[in-house]
A and B are shown apart, each in its own frame.
Chain A
Amino acid sequence: MQSVTVSRRNGLSGLAPLLAQHTRLAVPAVALAAMVGFSVILQPRVMSYFGLTLLLRYSEPLLFATMAQLCILTVGDVDLSIGPFISLVNCIVSVSATSSPTRCALELIGCVIGYVIMGAFIQVRALPSIVVTLGFSFIWLGFALLTLPTPGGSAPDWLVSMMAFQPPLIPMPILLAVMVAVVGDILLLRTGYGAILRGIGSNATAIQQAGWSLLIGRTVLYGAAGLCGVLSGLTLSGLNTTGDPWVGAQYTLLSIAGAIIGGAEFSGGIVSPIGAVFGAGIMLLSGSLLSFLDISTDWQLSVQGGLLTLVLALRTFSAWGVR
Chain B
Amino acid sequence: MRSIFLSLVTAAGLMAVTTGSGSQAADASAAKDTSKLGITLSNSYAGNTWRQQMVKVFQAAADEAIGKHIIAKSKVVNADASAPQQSSQIENMILEGWNAIVIDAASPSAINGSIEDACKQGITVVVFDSLATAPCAYQVAYDYVEAGRLPARFIADQLHGKGNVLVVRGLPGTQVDEDEYKGQMEIFGKFPDIKIVGTVNGNWTESIANKEVSGILPSLPKIDAVVGQGGDSVGTYQAFKAAGRPIPVITIGTRQEELALWKDLDQSTPGGYATVASSSVPGVSSIAFWVAQQILAGRQMPHVINVSLLEISKPDLDTWLKVTPVGAVATPVYSRDWTAKLIDSVVDHTPAPASPGPQDAK
Q: How far is the CB of B110 from the nearest CB of chain A, in Å?
A: 4
B173 at the interface (CB under 8 A from A): yes
How far, in whole Å, are A27 and B89 apart by their CA atoms in the complex?
Answer: 26
User: Is the pair B96, A151 in contact by a Cβ cutoff of 8 Å?
Assistant: no
B97 at the interface (CB under 8 A from A): yes
B117 at the interface (CB under 8 A from A): yes
How far, in whole Å, are A296 and B109 apart by their CA atoms in the complex?
Answer: 25
User: Is the pair A244, B172 in contact by a Cβ cutoff of 8 Å?
Assistant: no
How far, in whole Å, are A266 and B59 apart by their CA atoms in the complex?
Answer: 43
A152 at the interface (CB under 8 A from B): yes
The stretch of A49-57, A124-132, A187-195 that contacts the partner chain: A49-57
Q: How far is the CB of A314 from the nearest CB of chain B, in Å?
A: 26
B88 at the interface (CB under 8 A from A): yes
User: Is the pair A298, B46 in contact by a Cβ cutoff of 8 Å?
Assistant: yes
Interface residues of A in 15-74 (CB under 8 A from B): 43, 45-46, 51, 54-55, 57-58, 61-62
Q: With A151-B173, A247-B83 as known contacts, state yes or no: A55 contacts B91, CB within 8 Å.
A: yes
How far, in whole Å, are A251 and B83 apart by their CA atoms in the complex?
Answer: 11
Which of A43, A54, A57, A292 counts the most B-chain CB atoms under 10 A from its CB? Answer: A54
Interface residues of B in 203-242 (CB under 8 A from A): none
A318 at the interface (CB under 8 A from B): no
Question: Which residue of chain A is the closest to B172 with respect to CB atoms?
Answer: A145
Q: How far is the CB of A258 from the nearest CB of chain B, in Å?
A: 13
Please report the total number of B residues contacting A with Cβ < 8 Å. 36
A149 at the interface (CB under 8 A from B): yes
User: Is the pair A247, B84 in contact by a Cβ cutoff of 8 Å?
Assistant: yes
B306 at the interface (CB under 8 A from A): no
> Hey, what's the 0/1 contact readout for A178-220 against B, CB within 8 Å counting as 1?
0000000000000000000000000000000000000000000
> Hey, what's the 0/1 contact readout for A215-247 against B, CB within 8 Å counting as 1?
000000000000000000000100111111111
Which residue from A51, A58, A149, A292 sits with its C-beta under 8 Å from B178?
A: A149
Interface residues of B in 73-125 (CB under 8 A from A): 75-85, 87-89, 91-97, 107-114, 117
B175 at the interface (CB under 8 A from A): yes
- Residues on B with C-beta less than 8 A from A242 are 109-110, 112
How far, in whole Å, are A144 and B113 apart by their CA atoms in the complex?
Answer: 21
User: Is the pair B175, A58 in contact by a Cβ cutoff of 8 Å?
Assistant: no
A287 at the interface (CB under 8 A from B): yes
A177 at the interface (CB under 8 A from B): no
Q: How far is the CB of A124 from the nearest CB of chain B, in Å?
A: 33
User: Is the pair A240, B83 in contact by a Cβ cutoff of 8 Å?
Assistant: yes
- Residues on B with C-beta less than 8 A from A239 are 84, 87, 113
Interface residues of A in 264-323 (CB under 8 A from B): 284, 287-288, 291-292, 294, 296-298, 300-301
User: Is the pair B175, A241 in contact by a Cβ cutoff of 8 Å?
Assistant: no
- Residues on A with C-beta less than 8 A from B178 are 149-150
Q: With A54-B94, A300-B80 as known contacts, state yes or no: A250 contacts B85, CB within 8 Å.
A: yes
How far, in whole Å, are A50 and B82 apart by their CA atoms in the complex?
Answer: 24
User: Is the pair B107, A241 in contact by a Cβ cutoff of 8 Å?
Assistant: no
B174 at the interface (CB under 8 A from A): yes
User: Is the pair B88, A250 in contact by a Cβ cutoff of 8 Å?
Assistant: no
Which of A46, A51, A287 counts the most B-chain CB atoms under 10 A from its CB? Answer: A287
User: Is the pair B87, A58 in contact by a Cβ cutoff of 8 Å?
Assistant: yes
- Residues on A with C-beta less than 8 A from B80 are 250, 300-301
Which residue from A152, A250, A288 sits with its C-beta under 8 Å from B108?
A: A152
> Hey, what's the 0/1 contact readout for A142-171 against B, CB within 8 Å counting as 1?
000100011111000000000000000000
User: Is the pair B112, A55 in contact by a Cβ cutoff of 8 Å?
Assistant: no
How far, in whole Å, are A149 and B114 apart by their CA atoms in the complex?
Answer: 23
How far, in whole Å, are A284 and B85 apart by their CA atoms in the complex?
Answer: 9
- Residues on A with C-beta less than 8 A from B110 are 151, 240, 242-244, 247
Q: How far is the CB of A66 from the nearest CB of chain B, in Å?
A: 13
User: Is the pair A51, B95 in contact by a Cβ cutoff of 8 Å?
Assistant: yes
A249 at the interface (CB under 8 A from B): yes
Which of B85, B92, B178 counts the most A-chain CB atoms under 10 A from its CB? Answer: B92
Which of B78, B82, B109 counts the most A-chain CB atoms under 10 A from its CB? Answer: B109
Q: How far is the CB of A171 from the nearest CB of chain B, in Å?
A: 13
Question: Which residue of chain A is the closest to B40 with respect to CB atoms?
Answer: A291
Q: With A57-B88, A236-B84 as known contacts, state yes or no: A150 contacts B113, CB within 8 Å.
A: no
How far, in whole Å, are A242 and B112 apart by their CA atoms in the complex?
Answer: 8
User: Is the pair B107, A45 in contact by a Cβ cutoff of 8 Å?
Assistant: no
Q: With A150-B173, A250-B84 as known contacts, state yes or no: A55 contacts B109, CB within 8 Å.
A: no
Question: Which residue of chain A is the closest to B174 with respect to CB atoms?
Answer: A150
Which residue from B88, B96, B108 sits with its C-beta under 8 Å from A43?
A: B96
Question: Which residue of chain A is the closest to B108 with respect to CB atoms?
Answer: A151
- Residues on A with C-beta less than 8 A from B96 are 43, 45, 291-292
- Residues on A with C-beta less than 8 A from B78 are 296-298
Question: Which residue of chain B is the closest to A141 with respect to CB atoms?
Answer: B173
- Residues on B with C-beta less than 8 A from A298 are 46, 78
Which residue from A151, A249, A251, A294 sits with its C-beta under 8 Å from B75?
A: A294
- Residues on A with C-beta less than 8 A from B92 are 54-55, 287-288, 291-292
User: Is the pair B89, A291 in contact by a Cβ cutoff of 8 Å?
Assistant: yes
Q: Which 4 A-B pairs have the closest CB atoms?
A: A242-B109, A250-B82, A240-B110, A244-B107
Q: Which residues of B contact A (CB under 8 A)?
A: 46, 75-85, 87-89, 91-97, 107-114, 117, 172-175, 178
Q: Can you list 17 A-B contacts (CB < 8 A)?
A: A45-B95, A45-B96, A54-B94, A57-B87, A62-B84, A145-B172, A149-B178, A151-B107, A152-B108, A240-B87, A240-B109, A243-B109, A243-B110, A245-B173, A246-B83, A287-B89, A291-B77
